[in-house]
């Protein structure tokens, strides 16, 4: 059933992580992992499935980097969570923040946190992970501009002993656990930091898979980490291969031909086709991934709020969803994802050409002078931009659809050499979402805004531990951002993962992540 009219917020009951502040957290017991008895199942003579030692996954594009600290690419994060771990992690199914390399943590006061580490954890190079590695990794992360959003509130970190670290925040800070679960703060060997290791070429962590090779433009290969510390989440499939297949139909054909086993992003045009084939499973996930049109507010005339609001009201999201996603998405008119504890549609802007024209009149310029070159990194974005081109043309605004490969797209983004682009954002909670609007993040995130009132509200929300009070602040931030409109939201897609029916353990997160190490062949 198509998702265009479903409310994601009714499907996702997400509980914000910081309700855990009242006590210590301990490692979640995952229970027996499906597939632990796979050897017995595969040896059953009645089984029609030959045991496989490889999982081949089709991706739409290539990661810009395999490092932890200098990117914010979802595809790169897939690779990061295979090879690294943080003190904390995001549970793919619930979006809860759970201890990972940390055995437990305690909150001494509003600024002092103590984390006890799991013992005997080994890096891929054989070194044991200790508190010194944790300290070195987070201090190293703080040296990267791209990581500042997730490290700026860490005032200091020190090794209390071999397996315990103390983190002191700049003030009361409700976002620390979530920050420690993001790839920017993943832990790497201190010895390799000191040796100036290139973590893009040699990504060494503690993760469930070990990097093997990268054939640029074609594939990335990983092998299972036999010494992985978490038995419940240890990889069951020895080899993991990612194939780069940008075109949707080609991915589907490759799955049907047996050339790949898993499509991370199934083209919506092929959903029904694969649903009708018993050889495959199609998993539909209600997404908190919010796609938006980021506007560079440093570039005229997009530095004028009236121009931005004219574009915001001039986009027909229903048409975008129909053309680009075959109806499999929910339109979003507010500049935060729906589905979070803390989501709100206060000040939302629906499609209204008359309202858009009013904003153009307030601006006072000639609409034909407005040229919006929208950078797109895949075919779905191109289709969305093409619909916006038609919609905004009714106002006299010219849209240029600019296609780039993923690497060039991110290079333009990080260099600031862009006017407009389609991007997405899918953190695990509403606080992390609205933090992107603080002016300190303007260089890291497209669509950030430099506004003193927003900055003050974000800082206040970060330091507010009481959940109800923080909720009100988040709503204030969203209402203000809707008024400023630096990144008009477009839609939240229904995500489709398609895969061989003999593959088990598939858990797809509402944020877009997939736990490949949890999968097994039946």
pLDDT, tens digit, for every residue of 195-221? Answer: 999 999 999 999 999 999 999 999 999
Q: What is the mean pLDDT of the chain?
A: 88
What is the separation of C-alpha 482 from the centre of its chain, rounded to a whole number of angstroms?
Answer: 22
Confidence label for 442 from pLDDT (cuts 50, 70 and 90) = confident
Question: Which of the 8 DSSP states describes residue 50?
Answer: -
290-314 mean pLDDT: 96
pLDDT, tens digit, for every residue of 419-431? Answer: 999 999 888 789 9
Residue found by looking up tokens 């969305």 in the block: 384
- Residue 9: is its pLDDT beyond 90? no
Q: Which long-range contacts (CB under 8 A, 24 or more apart) does 47-51 make?
A: 49/502, 49/521, 49/522, 51/521
Confidence label for 94 from pLDDT (cuts 50, 70 and 90) = confident
CA angle 459, 462, 464 (to 5 degrees): 110
Lowest mean pLDDT among 11-15, 59-63, 332-336, 419-423: 11-15
Question: Which of the 8 DSSP states describes residue 393?
Answer: H
- Residue 25: is its pLDDT beyond 50? no
User: What does the pLDDT read at residue 347?
Assistant: 86
Lowest mean pLDDT among 45-59, 116-130, 164-178, 258-272: 45-59
- Give burial (CB, 10 Å; 0-12/13-18/19+) of 256: middle
User: What does the pLDDT read at residue 344?
Assistant: 86
- Pairwise CA distance, residues 100 & 278, whole Å: 37
Lowest mean pLDDT among 9-18, 101-110, 373-382, 451-460: 9-18
User: What does the pLDDT read at residue 50?
Assistant: 56
User: What does the pLDDT read at residue 477?
Assistant: 94
Confidence label for 339 from pLDDT (cuts 50, 70 and 90) = confident
User: What does the pLDDT read at residue 16?
Assistant: 36
- Residue 443: is its pLDDT beyond 90? no
Confidence label for 22 from pLDDT (cuts 50, 70 and 90) = very low
- Pairwise CA distance, residues 138 & 144, whole Å: 10
Which residues in 7-49 belong to E strands, given as ranges?
25-26
User: What does the pLDDT read at residue 285?
Assistant: 85
- Residue 436: is its pLDDT beyond 70? yes
Q: Could you give the angle at which helices 305-314 and 379-393 cross, rounded to 10 degrees?
A: 100
61-69 mean pLDDT: 91
- Residue 32: is its pLDDT beyond 90? no
pLDDT, tens digit, for every residue of 146-176? Answer: 888 889 899 999 999 999 999 999 999 999 9
User: What does the pLDDT read at residue 445?
Assistant: 75
**Residue 472: CB partners within 8 Å, gap ≥ 6?**
none
* DSSP β-ladder status, 112-117 and 164-169: antiparallel
| Per-residue b or e along 455-486, where b marks 16 or more CB atoms closer than 10 Å to that residue's CB | eebbbebbbbeeeeebbebbbbbbbbbbbbbb
Confidence label for 24 from pLDDT (cuts 50, 70 and 90) = very low
Question: Which of the 8 DSSP states describes residue 381?
Answer: H
- The rounded percent of the chain whose pLDDT value lies above 90 is 70
- Residue 358: asked if its preceding bond is cis (omega within 30°), the reply is no
CA angle 112, 448, 462 (to 5 degrees): 20
* Predicted structure pTM score: 0.72
User: What does the pLDDT read at residue 13?
Assistant: 35
499-513 mean pLDDT: 89
Say if residues 103 and 120 touch (Cβ distance below 8 Å): no
466-493 mean pLDDT: 94
User: What does the pLDDT read at residue 14?
Assistant: 34
User: What does the pLDDT read at residue 345?
Assistant: 87
- Residue 39: is its pLDDT beyond 70? no
| Per-residue b or e along 118-147, where b marks 16 or more CB atoms closer than 10 Å to that residue's CB | beebebbeebebbbebbbbbbebbbebebb
pLDDT, tens digit, for every residue of 380-435? Answer: 999 999 999 999 999 999 999 999 988 888 888 888 889 999 999 888 789 989 98
- Residue 224: is its pLDDT beyond 60? yes
Say if residues 61 and 377 touch (Cβ distance below 8 Å): yes
- Residue 3: is its pLDDT beyond 60? no
Residues in the chain: 522
- Pairwise CA distance, residues 57 & 522, whole Å: 17
- Residue 470: is its pLDDT beyond 80? yes
Lowest mean pLDDT among 18-32, 264-278, 383-397: 18-32
């Amino acid at each position: 059933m198509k998702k265009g009219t479903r409310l994601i917020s009714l499907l996702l009951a997400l509980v914000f992580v910081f309700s855990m502040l009242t006590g210590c957290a301990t490692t979640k017991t995952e229970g027996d992992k499906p597939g632990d008895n796979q050897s017995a199942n595969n040896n059953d003579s009645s089984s029609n499935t030959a045991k496989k030692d490889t999982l081949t996954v089709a991706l739409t594009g290539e990661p810009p980097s395999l490092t932890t600290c200098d990117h914010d690419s979802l595809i790169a994060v897939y690779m990061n969570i295979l090879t690294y771990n943080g003190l904390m992690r995001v549970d793919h199914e619930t979006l809860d923040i759970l201890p990972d390399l940390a055995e437990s943590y305690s909150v001494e006061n509003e600024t002092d946190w103590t984390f006890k580490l799991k013992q005997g954890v080994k890096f891929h190079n054989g070194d044991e992970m200790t508190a010194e590695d944790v300290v070195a990794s987070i201090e190293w992360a703080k040296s990267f501009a791209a990581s500042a959003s997730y490290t700026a509130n860490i005032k200091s970190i020190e090794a209390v002993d071999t397996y315990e670290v103390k983190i002191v925040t700049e003030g009361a800070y409700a976002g620390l656990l979530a920050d420690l679960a993001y790839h920017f703060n993943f832990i790497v060997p201190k010895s390799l930091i000191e040796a100036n290791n290139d973590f893009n070429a040699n990504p060494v962590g503690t993760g469930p898979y070990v990097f093997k090779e990268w054939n640029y433009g074609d594939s990335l290969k990983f092998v299972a980490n036999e010494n992985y510390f978490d038995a419940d989440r240890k990889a069951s499939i020895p080899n993991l291969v990612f194939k780069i297949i940008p075109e949707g139909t080609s991915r589907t054909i490759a799955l049907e031909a047996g050339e790949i086993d898993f499509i991370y992003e199934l083209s919506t045009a092929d959903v029904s086709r694969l649903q009708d084939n018993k050889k495959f499973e199609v998993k539909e996930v209600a997404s908190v991934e919010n796609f938006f049109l980021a506007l560079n507010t440093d570039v005229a005339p997009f530095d004028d709020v009236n121009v931005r609001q004219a574009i915001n009201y001039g986009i027909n999201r229903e048409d975008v969803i129909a053309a680009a996603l075959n109806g499999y998405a929910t339109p979003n008119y507010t500049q935060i994802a729906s589905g979070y504890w803390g989501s709100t549609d206060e000040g939302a802007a629906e499609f209204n050409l008359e309202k858009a024209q009013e904003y153009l009149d307030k601006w006072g310029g000639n609409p034909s002078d407005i040229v919006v070159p929208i950078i797109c990194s895949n075919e779905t974005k191109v289709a969305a931009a093409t619909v916006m081109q038609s919609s905004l043309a009714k106002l006299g605004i010219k849209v240029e659809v600019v296609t780039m490969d993923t690497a060039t797209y991110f290079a333009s983004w990080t260099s600031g050499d862009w006017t407009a682009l389609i991007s997405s954002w899918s953190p695990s909670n509403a606080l992390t979402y609205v933090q992107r609007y603080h002016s300190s993040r303007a260089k890291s995130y497209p669509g950030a805004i430099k506004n003193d009132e927003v900055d003050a509200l974000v800082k206040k929300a970060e330091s507010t531990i009481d959940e109800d009070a923080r909720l009100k602040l988040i709503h204030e931030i969203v209402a203000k951002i809707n008024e400023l409109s630096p990144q008009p939201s477009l839609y939240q897609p229904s995500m489709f993962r398609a895969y061989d029916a003999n593959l088990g353990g598939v858990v797809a997160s509402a944020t877009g992540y997939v736990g490949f190490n949890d999968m097994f062949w039946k």
